Amino acid sequence: MTSAAPMIRLRGIRKSYGSHEVLKGIDLDVDQGRIVSIIGPSGSGKSTLLRSVNMLEEISHGEIWLDGVQVNSALTGRAFETHINRIRQQMGMVFQQFNLFPHLTALENVSIAPMKLKGKSKAEAEALARTLLEKVGLADKGGAYPARLSGGQKQRVAIARALAMQPKAMLFDEATSALDPELVDEVNLVMKQLAAEQMTMIIVTHEMRFAAEVSDHVLFMDGGVVVEQGPPEQVLKAPTQERTRGFLRKHLAQ
């Protein structure tokens, strides 16, 4: 609780595909430096919720705020384009499928956004990119194209790419779900490092142990609603709701 207003604030988020409502009124506050994990069965709406924070998904109702600025502002047309681009530059996103740019090297993947969007010189942007690649343990892979990298390496480059814009918050959409089990740890380690640096994060994950380790707050979602939320030791260790218990039982049995 460093500042009065939370870094990310969601109010009454609703989203429908046709007549099917996938988010049924979600509220969430994430304070600066806090880490919130969202868990739940597939189809629960957790990824949709995360993707609506930077408006990759358009919502039907509700308010999204980043650091006191309304993300889904009433602006339209070009003015909204400019606004949302500026907002997105302050929020990093990491995808399940990495989505690295295959025609660019690791270094170029990381340096292109600060160069093109922040007007940094090539030298400046590349120096920053090198620092970030080193931070994620890939100092020697700057010249490699994504096709030459393992899944874990790709995801770490993707994290570096998001960090290159020096975001106020990071959104992780099942960042380790597409990885071979032996590659999960190297990505988790980078995320823990970010947590230690007080990065504000929302993490959608299937990994209960990881969620328990890093989160300040856990949301269990099912059927488009938050069924239960609280500190990880409560939600994950001593859930009060039957749906949460059922989900955790199934998940731990796997």
Partner 1 sequence: MDVALIQRIAPFILEAALKTMQLAAASLAIGLAAAVALVAARMSRQAIWRGLSAAYVSVIRGTPLLVQLFLVFFGGPQLGLNLTPFQAGAITMGLNIGAYMSVGLHGAIIAVEHGQYEAARSLGFGRLDTMRLFILPQAAPLMLRTLGVNTVILTKGTALASTIGVVELTYSAQRFVTSTYKPFEVFAAAGIAYLIIILAIMLGIRGLESLFGTAERGRV
- From residue 206, alpha-carbon distances to 24, 96, 247 in Å are 22, 12, 11
- CA–CA dist 61, 11 (Å, integer): 9
Q: How far is the CB of 241 from partner 1 (least distance, A)?
A: 32
Site membership for partner 1, residue 97 (CB under 8 A):
yes
Residue (8 or 100) nearer to partner 1, CB: 100
Cβ-proximal residues to 137 (8 Å cutoff; 6+ apart), any chain: 156, 186, 190
- If binding means CB under 8 A, how many residues of this protein chain bind partner 1? 34
Site membership for partner 1, residue 129 (CB under 8 A):
no
**Contact assessment for residue 173 and residue 93, using Cβ atoms and an 8 Å cutoff:** yes
Using CB under 8 A, which of 6, 146, 224, 232 touches partner 1? 146
Site membership for partner 1, residue 46 (CB under 8 A):
no
Site membership for partner 1, residue 75 (CB under 8 A):
no
Site membership for partner 1, residue 91 (CB under 8 A):
yes
Q: How far is the CB of 118 from partner 1 (least distance, A)?
A: 9
Stretch touching partner 1 by CB under 8 A, among 29-37, 39-47, 81-89, 224-232: 81-89
Stretch touching partner 1 by CB under 8 A, among 5-13, 82-90, 177-185, 243-251: 82-90
The half-sphere exposure of 222 on its side-chain side, counting CA atoms within 13 A, is 13
Using CB under 8 A, which of 14, 25, 56, 130 touches partner 1? 56
End-to-end CA distance of the chain: 37
Among 179, 202, 227, CA closest to 248:
227
- From residue 202, alpha-carbon distances to 15, 169, 170, 243 in Å are 19, 8, 6, 22
Using CB under 8 A, which of 14, 144, 192, 223 touches partner 1? 144
Site membership for partner 1, residue 234 (CB under 8 A):
no
Q: Which 8-state DSSP code applies to residue 254?
A: -
- CA–CA dist 21, 15 (Å, integer): 6
Tell which positions 153-182 bind partner 1, by CB under 8 A: 158, 161-162, 165
Which residues lie near partner 1 (CB under 8 A)?
Answer: 54, 56, 81-82, 85-93, 95, 97, 99-103, 105, 112-113, 116-117, 144-148, 158, 161-162, 165
